[in-house]
Structures are given as C-alpha cells and as structure tokens.
Structure 1
C-alpha cells in the first residue's frame, strides 16, 4: 500500500504546476513585441539628450517585419530612413543588431553592430552587451550596452557607453499608433 501511495505521490508531483515548464521571459517579451507588428509609433528623446542631428525632427519606429525568429524595426529620424533595429531569437536568447543603409539601399560602412543577451532577460527588459563583431567594427563601442524595455504603454531603446555619464534613451508611446512611415532605405533589396 505504501509503495502505491509513493508512486501516486511522484506522479502528482510530476504533474504539479511547480514542475511544469514555464515560458522563458524572452519568449514573453518577443510575443508582446509581435503584438505591435505592422504598427508605428512616435518617440521622444529623454530630456537630458542634446543631439543636433536629432533636434526638432520627428522620431518614429515601425514594427515592420515579424517572423518566428526575427523582428525588424525601422527607427526614423525626420526624413532619414537609414536605421533598422534587427532582433533575432535563437534558443530563447535575443540579439540586437543595427542595420544602417544609404539612401540607395547599400550598406553603410558601419552596420550590423550590436550584441546578444547573455541570458533570457526579463519579460519587459532585454539587454545587449556589445559583441566581438561590434568590437572589431567599432573599437570605441566595444563596451557599449544597449537595452530595450517594453510594457503596455512604452517601448524604449537605450544605450550606455562605458566610462560615460550620459545615456541615450528614446521612448515611444505605444498607446498612440501613428500613420505608417515610408519604407526604410534599401527595404525590398537583399537585407
């Protein structure tokens, strides 16, 4: 009788929600970002940021392309459509790369830099320390850390350079969808 009771106990414990496989935080983050696919939003720089190349220009993001393992988000500064954030997911780990293009669609000489999260992150926060490819391409960016936050109201893109007291932060209001901006430079060509 005791043996059957113990066997039943092991079966019940194995079926317990405590032992059930839980969804990775990165997968929750990914699904929540996919909800915005096809939508565009306007952003604002953090108040402390003073960049002449961004001053007075409309900042937009467009979650333009979503697949199981890749999300492309063009980030536009005024009529400059050169930037696309490319997120990829491999075994639950997310990578961020920056695809920069010229107006004719060709790659910029500095493109596809970024990093890969070292773990699953959080459902509303993913971080991307600079990878070796970035260090080889842009030596001064070898200690960069990018991060993205995402909740029901705000998507933020952020950058901290080691040794700098300044951060780059841009916040997009997810509660106010805007008209879809023009396609980024090079869209439709091999990307």
Structure 2
C-alpha cells in the first residue's frame, strides 16, 4: 500500500513540474515584444479616429529599452516626443503606465497613469484597466481600459473610455522597420 502511495506521489510531482514548465501567456507576450527591442515602426490610425492633434502627423513607436522586468516604448506624434509607454512585469502580471514629459524633460502634471492586467492575459493580447492611482490622478479616467495586441505583423495600442462609442486605436506595421526616431523628451532624467 505504501509503495502505491509513493508511486502516486512521484507521478503527482512529475505532473506539477510539467505544469511549472508551461510558459504563461504573459511571458510569451513579453518575450515576443522584447524581440523588437531597439527597433522602430510607423503607425496609423483607423479612419474613425479624427483627433486634430494627430491629423497628418507621422506616428512612430520605438521599443527603446528592454530589461527582464521593464520595456519602454516611446510613442511619437510628429515632432512631439512627450509620450513613453512603460510596461513592467511582476510575477508574470504586466502593468502599463504612460510617462508624459515636457520638451525640457520635466514631468507633465498628468503622467504615470495606467493599469495592471488582472491575470496573465493572452500571448497576443494584454488588457490594463485603470488602477486606483490613475483614478486618483484623473477621475474621469477611472473607468478607462487600455489594451495592447501583438502578433508577427502588428502591434496595436488601444483605449476605450466609458461612454465613448469608439475606441482609440493606433496600429504599427512590424514588418517594416523604420529609422530610429530622436530620443523622447526627458529620456534618462529621473521621475
């Protein structure tokens, strides 16, 4: 009888180590994004987006900095280099924050807002509902949901605001690398 329980125990230990080796979807997403580190891409808005501050301007993203638990992606609108998306990873859960800077490198009043995925997400899709820090900083953004999609051809950044019938989307073509844009405002300056 003891021999039977020992055999069952070894089987369970073997199964648990097998499950431990299965890569989390968030880790697959993270590693696929890191493959683009150092590369820049041009983006476009879908036709339903009619933001005057984006109209006719070149949209670029640059996967500028990658480490084990942090990826920084400046998002440029024309010659405005104020925006950087910061993704961090802790225990397999990804957080998105928005770092906004003035051209002199100082932080804007509204900066470092975003959210944390509530689970591991999917290998090609991560969602970030607004966190409490965001709700405190920008009360009208407390119900915002951001998400990023990633596959072999496209990276998309998306935002849905409560009460809005249409989301904000920008799509980047990962099949056509472009020249690296200038460094974002405040790059290297402490927060």
Give the conservation status (yes or no) of the 8 Å contact 1:13–1:19: no
CA distance in 1, matches of 2:41, 2:93: 26
Q: Identify the residue that residue 25 of structure 2 maps to in structure 1.
A: 25
Q: 1:103 is paired with a residue of what secondary structure? A: coil
Where structure 1 has 5 or more consecutive residues not aligned to the other structure, the ranges are: none
Q: How many residues align?
A: 190
RMSD of the TM alignment (CA)?
1.6
CA distance in 2, matches of 1:48, 1:148: 19
Cα offset for 1:163? 1.4
Give the conservation status (yes or no) of the 8 Å contact 1:100–1:108: yes
Cα offset for 1:189? 1.6
Q: Identify the residue that residue 190 of structure 1 maps to in structure 2.
A: 190
Q: Identify the residue that residue 172 of structure 2 maps to in structure 1.
A: 172
Q: Identify the residue that residue 11 of structure 1 maps to in structure 2.
A: 10
Give the conservation status (yes or no) of the 8 Å contact 1:26–1:121: yes
CA distance in 2, matches of 1:133, 1:16: 40
Q: Identify the residue that residue 162 of structure 1 maps to in structure 2.
A: 162
CA distance in 2, matches of 1:91, 1:79: 36
Q: 1:185 is paired with a residue of what secondary structure? A: coil
Cα offset for 1:7? 3.8
Cα offset for 1:18? 8.8
Q: Identify the residue that residue 58 of structure 2 maps to in structure 1.
A: 58
Where structure 2 has 5 or more consecutive residues not aligned to the other structure, the ranges are: none
Cα offset for 1:48? 0.8
CA distance in 2, matches of 1:19, 1:31: 21
Cα offset for 1:13? 5.1
Give the conservation status (yes or no) of the 8 Å contact 1:105–1:189: yes
- Whether 2:120 is the aligned partner of 1:120: answer yes
